[in-house]
Amino acid sequence: MLNTALVEQLKGVEQKFEKIERDLADPNIWEDRELQQKLGREHAEIREITSVFRAYRETEQALKDAQQMEQTESDGELLAMCREEIEQTRGELERLSERLQILLLPKDPNDARNVILEIRAGTGGDEATLFAAELFRMYLRYAERMRWRVEILDANETGLGGYKEVIAQIQGDRVYSRLKWESGVHRVQRVPATETQGRVHTSAVTVAVLPEAEEVDVQIEEKDLKIDVYRSSGPGGQSVNTTDSAVRITHLPTGLVVTCQDEKSQHKNKAKALTVLRSRLYDMELERKKAEETAMRRSQIGSGDRSEKIRTYNFPQNRVTDHRISLTLYKLDQVVNGALQDMIEPLTSSMQAEMLKAGATSMAEER
C-alpha cells in the first residue's frame, strides 16, 4: 500500500491537475500559444496519475467498508462473501498501488511529443532498401492501430520499391513514449527475392525516432540557413516535377542538411524541411545532455544509440529478437503487420522495473 509521503505527493498532483483543467477552460489561455501548449502537455502527463489515484482512494474506502461489515456480520454465508470481497479488493488496491508507483517514476519530458521517424537503408544493397520499406510499413500499421496520423516528409525511393531513406512525421497521443526505444540498427536475415540459390542474407537498416521540436524549443536564425531549390525527381531520376519545388536546407553552424521534395509547393517543402531540421537540432541537444548524464544512462536499457544493434528479424524461422532485453518471439509475421506492442510493452516494463529497483536501492542506501 502507499505510504503517507506518496499519498501527500499524489494529492498535490491531483490539485495541480484540477488547476490546469480550470486554466484550460479559460478562453483567454488560447491567446498565449506557448502557455497553452505547456499546460496541455502537463495535463496529459498527470491525467492518468490523477485517474488512478482517484480509483485507489475509492478502492481503499471500499476495503474499509468491507472490513467494517466483516466485524458486524454474523451470518456465515454473508461473512464468507464479505471476506472474499475483502480479498479481491485488497488485491485491486495492491495493483493500483504498484501502478501509481510506476506512474510517479521520473518522466521523460518528451514522452507526450509527436515524432519525426527516419529510416535509412544500411548494409545489404537492394535488400536493405526493401527491408527499409517493410519496416516503414510496419510502423504505418502500428500507427493505424494506435490511431495516429502519419505524413511522409521526404522519401528516396528505389526502382524496386524500396527506400534508401524515408522520413515521416507521426502525430498522436504520446507517440514518443511508445516509439523512443525503436532507435537503433534493425537487422534482417532472410532469402532475398533476387537470390537464386536460397541463401540467407543479412542486411541492416537504421531507425531514428526524434521528438518533434516546437518553435519555442529551438530558435533557428535565417542567417544560419543556406536554402537551395531544385526540381523533384522520382526513382531512377525520372522527373516528377517541372518546377523548382524541392528544397534543400543547410544549417551552417552544425552542417546538418535536410531535403524535402514530397510536396509540389516549394513553400510546403520548406516548412516540412524546417520541421525536420528543428527536430534534429533538438535531438542533438538531447544527446549532448545524455552524454553528460552517464550515471543515468547506465540505468537505462541500452543506450538508444543508433549505432547499436537492437533487434533481429529472422524470416526463415519467423523469429524476432530484441537484444536489449533478450526477448524472442516466434511471430515475426504478426510483428511486421503492426503488432509492435508485443515488443514495445516488454521493453517499457523492463525499463520501469529497472527504475523502481534503482529507486528502492537508493532509498535503502539513504537509510
Last residue of a domain, one of 83, 103, 123: 103
Length of the chain measured in residues:
367
Q: Are 161 and 192 found together in one domain?
A: yes
Q: Are 318 and 231 found together in one domain?
A: yes
Is there a domain that residue 109 lies in?
Answer: no
Is there a domain that residue 110 lies in?
Answer: no
Q: Are 296 and 147 found together in one domain?
A: yes
pLDDT at 235: 52
**What is the average per-residue pLDDT within 315-335?**
96
Q: Are 170 and 66 found together in one domain?
A: no
Q: Per-residue DSSP letters for 109-177?
A: TTTTS-EEEEEEE-SSHHHHHHHHHHHHHHHHHHHHHHT-EEEEEEEEE-TTS-EEEEEEEEESTTHHH
Taking each helix axis from N to C terminus, what angle separates 33-72 and 76-103, rounded to the nearest 10 degrees? 160
**What is the average per-residue pLDDT within 220-234?**
86
Q: Are 272 and 220 found together in one domain?
A: yes
Q: Are 166 and 26 found together in one domain?
A: no
- 327-329/319-322 β-pairing: antiparallel
209 secondary structure, DSSP code:
E
Last residue of a domain, one of 69, 103, 137: 103
Q: Are 72 and 161 found together in one domain?
A: no
Tell which wins on pLDDT, 238 or 151: 151
pLDDT at 322: 95
CATH of the domain at 21: 1.20.58
Query: 3-state class of 61 per DSSP?
Result: helix
CATH of the domain at 344: 3.30.70.1660
Dump pLDDT digits (tens) for 296-313.
Answer: 334 333 444 455 799 999
d(CA 163, CA 101): 43
Q: Are 80 and 209 found together in one domain?
A: no
Q: Are 21 and 70 found together in one domain?
A: yes
Q: Where in the sequence is the domain holding 269, given as residue range(s)?
A: 115-352
Is there a domain that residue 360 lies in?
Answer: no
Q: Are 121 and 79 found together in one domain?
A: no
Measured in whole angstroms, the distance separating CA 135 from the mean position of its chain's CA atoms is 16
Mean of the per-residue pLDDT values for the chain? 86
Measured in whole angstroms, the distance separating CA 9 from the mean position of its chain's CA atoms is 27
pLDDT at 270: 92
Q: Are 98 and 134 found together in one domain?
A: no
Is the pLDDT at 134 greater than 50? The verdict is yes
pLDDT at 304: 42
Dump pLDDT digits (tens) for 30-55.
Answer: 888 888 888 988 898 899 999 999 99
Q: Which cell goes with 70?
A: 466483516
Last residue of a domain, one of 103, 133, 168: 103
Query: Which amino acid, one-letter code, is at 5?
Result: A
Q: Are 345 and 274 found together in one domain?
A: yes
Dump pLDDT digits (tens) for 179-225.
Answer: 999 999 999 999 987 676 778 899 999 999 999 988 778 889 999 99
CA nearest 341: which of 167, 188, 181?
181
Q: Which cell goes with 52?
A: 488512478
